[in-house]
């Protein structure tokens, strides 16, 4: 409620509650159409999108860190963010509208991860390390393609739009964006929850997991598919937002411990709350709205250093 009242056009919390309650009860709120539009068409989708993106990125980050047994793994490790960025930039270069940008972004993220899996598979090794290296190669490739797209874009019109999108923002999120992204994020989150117990066994290593009857290769593929769906859906509506998938799982470990079965729901909840707070700061701290990617980096880098220092002392 507090978040929905923040912004350049501030609203009292009671006004927000009255408008929401009237919409649920399907009756007139007594407020002007302008206020109702701000609450229902602008602020509500934005708040829900911030929570959805934060939960998706943090949940995917927790899954990747457990899957690869690497505390520095993030949702971008297999190139999904780079692929999504290229897809969005290409759609803007071709003159596509908001729906085209979102669709191209989602498809680009899926394509990047699929390419990484294809490369790793044709190298003939069922290894997490090979998959990560393939992801780095694919990420570099799509970053180069994005740079080429920006080079070809109109510097007075299209280029600023591409750059701002790549920095991450929820300023133009609508209900239709949520309708597109929410099913994919929900599907990924449900899949991660259903697989949380066998995934926890992976922390002991592939050989130990196989000894306990866990189908490691199948589980790895399912986790990658679920986390990729969540990340691609999130990036398609917010742009590239860094640090959430890397930082939030570490916060969760600091609060409740390293057990993945508990870390996953904690990361999802913390991610939703963290990005909501960051978005509140982006749109209310200054006269001009700041991109999400800048603020998450400014906040995330020192917090991550503090977490690492505490973990080392412990």
CA 185 to chain centre: 9
Per-residue pLDDT, 314: 63
Per-residue pLDDT, 214: 86
- 10-residue mean pLDDT profile of the chain (314 residues): values are 78 87 82 86 94 97 91 89 96 92 95 93 75 93 96 92 94 92 96 94 82 87 95 95 92 91 96 95 85 91 82 68
Per-residue pLDDT, 125: 63
DSSP 229-246: HHHHHHHHHH----SHHH
Provide the residue range defining the domain that includes 238. 2-313
Cα angle 178, 290, 147; round to 5: 80
- 90: its two tokens: 């290409």
- Residue 197 CA to residue 214 CA, distance in Å, equals 10
What CATH number is associated with residue 121?
1.10.3470.10
- CB neighbours of 167 closer than 8 A, spacing ≥ 6? 239, 240, 291, 292, 293, 294
Cα angle 91, 79, 94; round to 5: 10
- Residue 218 CA to residue 206 CA, distance in Å, equals 12
Residue 192 near residue 223, CB atoms below 8 Å: yes
Task: With CA atoms as reference, report the closest residue to 117 among 225, 219, 202.
Answer: 225
Per-residue pLDDT, 126: 60
Per-residue pLDDT, 11: 84
pTM of the model: 0.92
Number of domains composing the chain? 1
């Amino acid at each position: 409620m507090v978040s929905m009242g923040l912004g350049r056009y501030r609203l009292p919390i009671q006004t927000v509650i009255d408008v929401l309650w009237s919409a649920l009860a399907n009756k007139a709120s007594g407020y002007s159409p302008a206020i109702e539009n701000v609450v229902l068409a602008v602020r509500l989708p934005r708040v829900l999108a911030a929570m959805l993106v934060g939960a998706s990125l943090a949940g995917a980050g927790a899954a990747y860190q457990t899957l690869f047994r690497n505390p520095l793994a993030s949702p971008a490790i297999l190139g999904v963010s780079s692929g999504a960025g290229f897809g969005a930039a290409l759609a803007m270069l071709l003159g596509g509208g908001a729906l085209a940008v979102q669709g191209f972004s989602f498809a680009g993220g899926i394509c990047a991860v699929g390419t990484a899996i294809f490369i790793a598979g044709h190298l003939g090794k069922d290894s997490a390390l090979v998959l990560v290296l393939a992801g780095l190669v694919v990420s570099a490739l799509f970053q180069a393609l994005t740079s080429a797209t920006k080079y070809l874009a109109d510097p007075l019109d299209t280029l600023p739009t591409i750059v701002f999108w790549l920095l991450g923002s929820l300023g133009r999120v609508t209900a239709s964006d949520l309708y597109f992204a929410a099913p994919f994020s929900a599907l990924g989150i449900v899949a991660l929850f259903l697989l949380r117990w066998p995934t926890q066994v992976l922390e002991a290593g592939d050989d130990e997991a196989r000894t306990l009857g866990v189908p490691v290769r199948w589980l790895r593929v399912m986790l990658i598919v679920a986390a990729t769906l969540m990340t691609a859906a999130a990036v398609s509506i917010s742009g590239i937002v860094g640090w959430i998938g890397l930082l939030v799982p570490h916060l969760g470990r600091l609060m409740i411990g390293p057990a993945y079965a508990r870390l996953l729901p904690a990361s999802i909840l913390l991610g939703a709350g963290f990005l909501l707070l960051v978005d509140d700061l982006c749109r209310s701290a200054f006269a001009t709205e700041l991109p999400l990617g800048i603020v998450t980096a400014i906040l995330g880098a020192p917090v991550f250093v503090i977490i690492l220092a505490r973990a080392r002392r412990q």
